[in-house]
Chain A
Amino acid sequence: MFCFGLFSQSNFSFSGDLQINGQTFQEDLSIGAEKREPNINSYLNLILDYKNYLKIGTRLELYRNPIPGFENYEGEGIAYKFVQFQKWNFDITLGNFYDQFGSGVLFRSYFDQNLGIDNSVNGARLKFKPSTGIDLTAIIGKQRNYWELGEGMIRGFDAQIYVNDYFFKKSRTTINLGGSFVTKKQKDNDPFFILPENVGAWSGRMNISKGRWNFESEYAYKINDPSFTNNYIYKNGNSIKISSVILLMFFSTFYSCEQEEIDGCMNESACNYNNEATNDDNSCQIPINEVLEVIYIDSVVSGPVGEDLIAHVHIRNSSCSPVSVKARKIYNGSVV
């Protein structure tokens, strides 16, 4: 990897960096290793800066063939582009950006090319400091999902207040308060479940420090957001994080407590048994005894020639491994 500054004058500066990660393969018959195409992941960042208040930047990514673990990134393209304006008390970004609210419980967009993580938001961000001691941030956009954008439209607002800029100015105790609100709007395309199309979440945080003592806490609440990854749980969630540090002369102590109520299935014989669950939410999927149970919703389907016919069939599996069903072409309207 190397960095470069192509030119740098009083007004303009143009800088960037290029990183190439590669793997080549050697044939080795003694261990049965075949010759394969080399793998390359490459990232080229370019940033043009005008007088430190206008920035235009982009990142080109190339994965050909992607290094194992990055398969979903196959191909090349511009993955990141932005225009940023920073002046007076404003900071406006159009395009892709990374940010987080508080400790990142509600919202965090992040990039790490070594981990293959890039969930930058593609949209707009406005940061505004109405006066010293107050930071406001508003965001809108969709997050990157490999070469595409996620379906959910994210809107968020965050406020951070440094209390000591207004009250107790001379006090040795510093107090910072913060709060966030984030919503996700996504169309319900699920054929079976009715999913909430607007999901809201909020959080509040407080940080107090005095001399050698520091206290931090954040509480977050989110309304139900059933999805495949959480086994379609229709339950609101919350989390709290509290940590406190006391510095003594020669050693320091650290207390931290993090508690999250985990909803899930607590029945061990269920397919979706979650051994970390602390609250049973009736989401258990228990396999049935029969080999396969088929429930016809539409036992007879008819329609005019040349048009698509849709038939619904429910199938319950007797094991936890997924079942696959093949549709067969039939003629003359006979049911199979």
Chain B
Amino acid sequence: MNITKVLIFILFVFNYSIAQKIPSVDIKTLEGKTINTNSFNNEGNPIIISFWALWCKNCIKELEAISEIYEEWQEETGVKLIAISIDDSRNKSKLKPFINSKGWEYDIYHDPNSDFKRALGINQIPHTFLLNGKNEIVSEHIGYTDGQEEDLYEKIKKLFN
């Protein structure tokens, strides 16, 4: 089919990427205040942005796995994890109790109408981005399998070489 060939051609032509900054989008804090993604800041240290939702089991598995070693990661690399919930507004009030029960130490925000998700072209979650100290996307991955957080940590350490 012709169209298929054209699309595959486009895929190869454009299949490279240059450091991309995260788009500026308004999202909400868990208290309902508006905050712009421009203000994400970790004083020159790397940032992990992880998209998740209450219904997404693999997202929660990934966040739990990182949570266990998060303190260690922070001490060694100064990395910060920002978790973005894409749950819709009706489930917003369940977020705080859930996070409380997990004891997560992350910065957690709510993207109630998926504006940030759309701006980053995300299709499936879990979708995790790694940003360098200049807030540029250096890597991303979709999905989660056990132990994958180790790959992510290797990538964070590489940023310092």
Task: Mark A residues whose CB is within 8 Å of B.
Answer: 1-8, 13, 15-20, 22, 37-38, 40, 42, 44-45, 47, 49, 52, 62, 64, 86, 98-100, 102-104, 108, 110-114, 135, 162, 174, 176, 207, 209, 214, 216, 241, 243-245, 247, 251-254, 256
- For B123, what are the chain A residues with a Cβ–Cβ distance below 8 Å? 1, 19, 113-114
Q: How far is the CB of A110 from chain B (nearest CB, A)?
A: 6
Task: Mark B residues whose CB is within 8 Å of A.
Answer: 1, 3-4, 7, 10-11, 14-21, 23-24, 31-34, 38, 88-90, 92-94, 96-97, 100-101, 112-115, 118-121, 123-124, 137, 140, 142
User: Is the CB–CB distance between B93 and A214 below 8 Å?
Assistant: yes
- Dominant SS among interface residues on chain B: mixed
User: Is the CB–CB distance between B121 and A16 below 8 Å?
Assistant: yes
Partner of B19, one of A8, A19, A114: A8
Tell me, in angstroms, the Cα distance from A47 to B23 when the chains sit together.
10
User: Is the CB–CB distance between B97 and A245 below 8 Å?
Assistant: yes
Quick one: closest B residue to A42, CB to CB?
B7
Given the contacts A214-B96, A243-B93, A247-B100, A40 and B20 also touching, CB distance less than 8 Å? no
A-B contact pairs, 30 of them (CB 8 A): A2-B15, A3-B120, A3-B140, A5-B17, A5-B20, A7-B18, A13-B20, A16-B121, A17-B121, A18-B10, A18-B11, A19-B121, A37-B1, A40-B7, A52-B38, A64-B3, A99-B113, A100-B89, A102-B89, A104-B113, A111-B114, A112-B114, A114-B124, A135-B34, A176-B31, A216-B93, A245-B93, A245-B97, A247-B96, A252-B97
User: Is the CB–CB distance between B121 and A104 below 8 Å?
Assistant: no
- For B19, what are the chain A residues with a Cβ–Cβ distance below 8 Å? 5, 8
Q: How many A-B residue pairs have CB under 8 A?
A: 121
Quick one: closest A residue to B115, CB to CB?
A98
- For A241, what are the chain B residues with a Cβ–Cβ distance below 8 Å? 90
- For A18, what are the chain B residues with a Cβ–Cβ distance below 8 Å? 7, 10-11, 14
- For A7, what are the chain B residues with a Cβ–Cβ distance below 8 Å? 18
Q: How far is the CB of A53 from chain B (nearest CB, A)?
A: 9
- For A135, what are the chain B residues with a Cβ–Cβ distance below 8 Å? 34
Tell me, in angstroms, the Cα distance from A15 to B11 when the chains sit together.
14
- For B3, what are the chain A residues with a Cβ–Cβ distance below 8 Å? 40, 62, 64
